[in-house]
Amino acid sequence: MAKFMFFLSFFLFVLVLGDPAYDFVNVLDHGAIGDGLTDDSLAFDAAFTMACDSSSPSVTILVPGGSKSFLLQPMHFNGKHCRPSMIFFQIDGYIVAPSDPNAWHRCDGEKCHAWLEFQHFDGLYIQGSGTFNGQGRNWWNPSCHQDNIVCAKKPTGFVISHSNNVHLTGLNFEDSPQMHIAFEHSTRVYVSQLTIRAPAESPNTDGIHIQQSSYVSIDHTFIGTGDDCVSIGDGSSHLEITNIVCGPGHGISIGSLGKHGDKETVEYVNVRNVTFTGTQNGVRIKTWQGGKGYAKNMMFENIVSNGAKYPIIIDQYYCDHTHCKNQTSAVHISNITYKNIEGTSEKQIAVKLACSISTPCKNIIMENIDLKPASHGEANKFNETSSYCLNVRGRSNRHVYPKVPCLYIDNNL
Ligand SMILES: *[C@@H]1O[C@H](CO)[C@@H](O)[C@H](O)[C@H]1NC(C)=O
Ligand SMILES: *[C@@H]1O[C@H](CO)[C@@H](O)[C@H](O)[C@H]1NC(C)=O
Ligand SMILES: *[C@@H]1O[C@H](CO)[C@@H](O)[C@H](O)[C@H]1NC(C)=O
Ligand SMILES: *[C@@H]1O[C@H](CO)[C@@H](O)[C@H](O)[C@H]1NC(C)=O
C-alpha cells in the first residue's frame, strides 16, 4: 500500500509539475530585458524550451511590443521534439541583431547560415506587428570583404527549413545582411501581409527566396530591397505569388538555374497582381549555359510595370562573371504564359526572350501586353519599345505591344 501511495503521488507529481500545460510563454518571464543592448538570446531559448515541452495542443510564445527592443544573437529553433501540434510566435516587439559583424556569435570559422533559423516544425505560426532588423549595414560595407573570415559568408536573415504548415503573417523585416527570408525543404507555407525593406544599393538582400519547397503562397506583401523581391530556386513547385508590390529591387526571378551543369527544376508557378516600380526586371527567368532540367508551367498575369528596366525577360545566357562559354545543353523552358501585362519600360527592349540555341523555349504564350516607354531612359529617347527573340516557339494574340514577331498570331487567344 505504501508502495502504491508512493507511485500514486509520484504520478500526480509528474502530472502536475512534470507535465505542464502552458498555453502562453512570455519571454519577459524568462529574463528578457528588451532594452536593445542586453543579449536576450538565452531568455528566448528558455521560453522556447518551455513552450516546446508544454502538453497543450497549442502554445504561444509572446514577444511583447510597446517600446521593447530585443537583441538576439544567431538562434536556432528546432521543433523536432516539441509536443504541441501548433506553435505560435506572437511577435509585437522589435527584434534586432548585433550591429557589428564581429559580434555575431557562431559566424566565425564554420558557417553562419542564418540569423534566426526554424527547423523541423509541423504547424508553425509566426505572426504579429513586430519587426526583425538584421542590421545589415556593416555587412554590406565594402570593407566587410570576402577575405575576412566573418564576412566571407553573409547570413540570411530568417530561414525556415524542413518544415510543413508554416504561416508567416503581418511582420516587418528590415536590413538583413543577405537574403531576408528563405524557405528550404518545406511544404505548405503561407506568407501574407509582410513588409520587407532594405536600401536599393544593399547587395544580395533578396526579399523572399524559395528552394526545394512546394505549395508555397505569398500574398499581399510589400518588398523593396537591393536584389530580387522574390527569387525561386531549384526544386520549387506549386507556388502562388499574388498581390505583391515590388520595388526597388530586381523583380521576381526564376533562377538562376543550371549553374555548373546542374540539373535543376522549377514548375507550376503562378504570379498574379504584381506591381513593379523602378525595378531592374519585372518577371525574369534566368538559366546558365550547360545546365539541365526545366522551368515550365508558369503563368504571369495582371502585372503592372512602372518603369522596370526589363519588364519581361527570359535569359538563357545568364552569367554573373565574364568567362561563360556557350554550351550545347540547357535548362528546358516551356509552357510560360504572360497575360495582361501593362505599363512602362525603361529599356527599349521591353520584351527580351533570349533562349538557348540547342533547346528552344517552347509554348511561350502572350496575351494582352502593353509596355510603353517610361518617361525617362532609353525607351523614351527612341519613343518606342521593341522586342528581342532568339529561338522561341509560341503564340500570341493581336493585343501585344511591342510586337513579338517570333510568336505566331493565334486568333483563338
Ligand atoms: C487581383 O486583384 C483584383 C483587383 O484588386 C482582385 O479582384 C483579385 O481577386 C486579385 N487576384 C488575386 C489572385 O488575388
Ligand atoms: C501550363 O502551365 C499552367 C500554369 O502553371 C498550368 O496550369 C497548365 O496546366 C500547364 N499546361 C500543361 C499542358 O502542362
Ligand atoms: C553565346 O550565344 C549568344 C546567342 O547567339 C551570343 O549572343 C553570345 O555572344 C554568345 N556568347 C559567347 C561567349 O560566345
Ligand atoms: C511618340 O510616339 C507617340 C505614339 O506613337 C506619338 O503620338 C508621339 O507623337 C511621338 N513623339 C515624338 C516626340 O516622336
> Is pLDDT above 80 for 281?
yes
* CATH 3.20.130.10, applies to 228-320+327-413: no
The pLDDT value given to residue 287: 96
- Nearest-angstrom CA–CA distance, 59 and 241: 29
Task: Determine the average pLDDT of the residues in 323-341.
Answer: 94
- Residue 325: how many CA atoms within 13 Å on its side-chain side? 5
The pLDDT value given to residue 324: 87
3-state SS class at 279: coil
* Ligand 1 atom at minimal distance to the Cα of residue 243: 14
Are residues 44 and 33 in contact, defined by beta-carbon separation less than 8 angstroms? no
Query: 182 CB contacts (<8 Å, ≥6 apart)?
Result: 114, 156, 158, 159, 160, 161, 208, 209, 210, 211
- Nearest-angstrom CA–CA distance, 230 and 61: 28
The pLDDT value given to residue 322: 74
The pLDDT value given to residue 5: 52
113 is catalytic: no
Q: Report which protein residue has its CA nearest ligand 3's atom 11.
A: 326
- Nearest-angstrom CA–CA distance, 279 and 136: 21
pLDDT 10s digits, 188-223? 999 999 999 999 999 999 999 999 999 999 999 999
The owner of cell 562573371 is: 321
- Nearest-angstrom CA–CA distance, 203 and 213: 24
Task: Determine the average pLDDT of the residues in 360-365.
Answer: 98
* Ligand 3 atom at minimal distance to the Cα of residue 390: 4
The pLDDT value given to residue 17: 53
Least confident of 12-21, 229-238, 299-308, 311-320: 12-21
Ligand 4 center to residue 332 CA distance, Å?
Answer: 39
Select from 8, 13, 52 the least CA-distant residue to 30. Answer: 52
The pLDDT value given to residue 109: 55
pLDDT 10s digits, 373-410? 999 999 999 999 999 999 999 999 999 999 999 999 99
Backbone angles phi, psi at 55, to 5 degrees: -90, 0
* Ligand 2 atom at minimal distance to the Cα of residue 270: 5
Q: Which three cell numbers stand for residue 18?
A: 512534470
Are residues 107 and 74 in contact, defined by beta-carbon separation less than 8 angstroms? yes
Ligand 2 center to residue 59 CA distance, Å?
Answer: 40
- pTM (predicted TM-score): 0.94
The pLDDT value given to residue 10: 45
CB atoms within 10 A of CB 15: 12
pLDDT 10s digits, 61-89? 999 999 999 999 999 999 999 999 999 99
pLDDT 10s digits, 103-143? 998 776 566 789 999 999 999 999 999 999 999 999 999 99
Select from 213, 187, 111, 118 the least CA-distant residue to 152. Answer: 111
Q: How confident is the model at residue 152 (pLDDT cuts 50, 70, 90)?
A: confident
The owner of cell 538563357 is: 316
- Class (C level, CATH) for 22-140+152-186: mainly beta
The residue annotated as part of the active site, out of 30, 180, 209, 250, is 250
Q: Is 272 in the pocket of ligand 1 (CB under 6 A)?
A: yes
Are residues 247 and 225 in contact, defined by beta-carbon separation less than 8 angstroms? no
- What average pLDDT does the chain have? 94
Ligand 1 center to residue 208 CA distance, Å?
Answer: 21
- Nearest-angstrom CA–CA distance, 232 and 296: 13
Are residues 122 and 79 in contact, defined by beta-carbon separation less than 8 angstroms? yes
The pLDDT value given to residue 393: 98
> Is pLDDT above 70 for 303?
yes
Q: Is 328 in the pocket of ligand 3 (CB under 6 A)?
A: no
Domains 22-140+152-186 and 228-320+327-413 share a fold: yes
The percentage of the chain sitting over the pLDDT mark of 90, rounded to a whole number, equals 88
Select from 238, 382, 407 the least CA-distant residue to 314. Answer: 407
Relative to beta strand 35-39, strand 181-184 is: unpaired
In the chain, domain spans: 22-140+152-186, 228-320+327-413
Q: How confident is the model at residue 269 (pLDDT cuts 50, 70, 90)?
A: very high
